[in-house]
Amino acid sequence: MKNIDDPIFYVLRGEIEYINDISMVIFFITAVTLLPGSELIIKNSFLNEQLTTFINILGRMGADISVEQTGEFNGRGVGKIQIRYAGRLTGIDIEKKGLIDAANAVPFLAVAAACAEGETNFKGIDSLVPSNPDIVKAISINFEKLDFSLSTQNDRFKIKGSGPGRFRIGYDDTERCTEVIIIVNSDFPEESVTLRSFGDHMTTISLYLIPLVCYRNVIIEREEREYMRYAEFHDILNSVLRRRNTNTFFLIGFMGSGKSSTGVLLAEKMGYSFIDLDEMIRKKAGKTIARIFEEEGEEAFRKMESETLFSLRDKDMDNAVIACGGGAPCSEKNLRFMQQSGLLIWFDASAQTLFNRIKNQKGRPLAKEYRHFENLYKDRTLFYKTADIQINTENLPQEEIVEIIQQIF
């Protein structure tokens, strides 16, 4: 595997008081929807049918967006938009009417579809050609350069998303892994990709999503930037864009995935401290996890788990590998804490493999019967898919898993 120098994980957090350009509003909504740990409030945004349709489409894909109209200005609705990252989007069918009503937002929907799990069908895409020919042209050409899966069938685009995990290791799909930079001059590095907007303003702004969510070096040539109508876009972006902490690793995954045993080795190799949440709970409670379940119930255990997680201070988590119980990230408040404190690495394997690893182990109160085990695995996978890195540990020894993570960081 190729070594990746200083990968940058971005997050958007904060409040934006006012944006005059609807394309920028759409950009920030899309970016927050795709970047784990992001949460943003846009105040005093103009509201129109295009934006409403766009938000409804993303909502159907699983985005968490709320809109509150707070007034009017010159006969136009004005409101507050709150967006929060809610996990990996899911591909859907977008009907022709939706495409027409949100025509200018299609470049952003295309990027969202490329990052979603499953397939998104853009029906009636030919209806955009007469009025927006450059949008369709740019999507086709840029997606080919990015090696995104896009196919044309009659009057529709089909975009197959990359699925869970922005780094997916040990799977059949192609890795996307380079440093994240936007270049606006002639000093082009190797392994970069030049994208074009063909003069379309919305497409130009949508190009800034690519390095944030897809780990590709992106070149936006100087003439393309001439189509950016508002210089304040960069100022607004810089005001809410943050680098996420990459010195704290939360190891997540279902029981039997090897988080604790591999975590010890990873911490040793990287010179980090190692924290085992379950072990902290055992010491605090003075009894095993199995006894806590038996005597106090799962609800009491989950409360202890959250309290233990939130008791970790910044200095505890700096340069640390933290092994989390299988259910720890399956709570909204726990998951948000992890996303805001570090990076999530998902140790993945099939339910059958995991069950075979632990079925004869004592002290596994949730692993007594396979059907229940498998159903719980499926439920928790929805939370695991929010991870920044997903590693297929099906047939990997611990040493190789550690080596993979070291190569990324």
Q: What is the pLDDT at residue 168?
A: 60
Alpha-carbon gap, residue 191 to 219, rounded angstroms: 10
Structural domain harbouring 123: 10-242
Q: Judge whether 31 lies within some domain.
A: yes
Q: Six-digit token pair at 58?
A: 């993303």
Residue whose entry in the numeric block shows the structure tokens 């996978």: 381
Co-location of 265 and 379 in the same domain: yes
Residue whose entry in the numeric block shows the structure tokens 């695991």: 384
Per DSSP, 363 falls in state S
Alpha-carbon gap, residue 166 to 290, rounded angstroms: 34
Co-location of 172 and 310 in the same domain: no
Alpha-carbon gap, residue 149 to 113, rounded angstroms: 10
Q: What is the pLDDT at residue 297?
A: 92
What are the residue ranges in the chain where pLDDT is below 70?
A: 1-8, 129, 162-191, 214-217, 220-231, 363
pTM, two decimal places: 0.78
Q: Provide the edge-to-edge strand list for the sheet that holds 119-123.
A: 93-94, 119-123, 156-160, 149-153
Query: Contact 89/62 with Cβ under 8 angstroms?
Result: yes
Q: What is the pLDDT at residue 128?
A: 74
Co-location of 260 and 380 in the same domain: yes
Q: What is the pLDDT at residue 218?
A: 72
- Smallest Cα–Cα separation from 51: which of 31, 29, 72? 29
Q: Provide the edge-to-edge strand list for the sheet that holds 182-183.
A: 182-183, 217-220, 192-195
Quick one: how far is CA 233 from the chain centroid? 22
Per DSSP, 114 falls in state H
Query: CATH code at 51?
Result: 3.65.10.10
Co-location of 41 and 184 in the same domain: yes
Residues ≥6 apart with Cβ < 8 Å to 149: 114, 159, 160, 161
Residues ≥6 apart with Cβ < 8 Å to 254: 326, 349, 351, 354, 376, 377, 380, 381, 384
Q: Judge whether 5 lies within some domain.
A: no
- End-of-domain residue from the set 183, 213, 242: 242
Q: What is the pLDDT at residue 189?
A: 41
Q: Judge whether 2 lies within some domain.
A: no
Q: Six-digit token pair at 13?
A: 């957090």
CB count within 10 Å of CB 373 equals 21
- Measured in degrees and rounded to the nearest 5, phi and psi for residue 229 equal -85, -15
- Measured in degrees and rounded to the nearest 5, phi and psi for residue 300 equal -65, -40
Co-location of 75 and 163 in the same domain: yes
Q: Provide the edge-to-edge strand list for the sheet that holds 241-243.
A: 64-73, 76-84, 39-47, 10-16, 241-243
Co-location of 185 and 39 in the same domain: yes
* 20-23-29 Cα angle (round to 5): 100
Query: Contact 393/401 with Cβ under 8 angstroms?
Result: yes
Domain count, the chain: 2
What is the rounded end-to-end Cα distance, in angstroms, of the chain? 13
Q: pLDDT tens across 317-346, in order?
A: 999 999 999 999 999 899 989 988 999 999
- Smallest Cα–Cα separation from 355: which of 262, 257, 253? 257
Alpha-carbon gap, residue 20 to 46, rounded angstroms: 7
Co-location of 139 and 263 in the same domain: no
Co-location of 294 and 308 in the same domain: yes
Alpha-carbon gap, residue 98 to 212, rounded angstroms: 26
- End-of-domain residue from the set 212, 242, 272: 242
Q: 3-state DSSP call for residue 53?
A: helix
Co-location of 276 and 398 in the same domain: yes
Query: CATH code at 380?
Result: 3.40.50.300
Co-location of 75 and 173 in the same domain: yes
- Smallest Cα–Cα separation from 2: which of 215, 178, 213? 178
Q: What is the pLDDT at residue 174?
A: 33
Q: Judge whether 204 lies within some domain.
A: yes
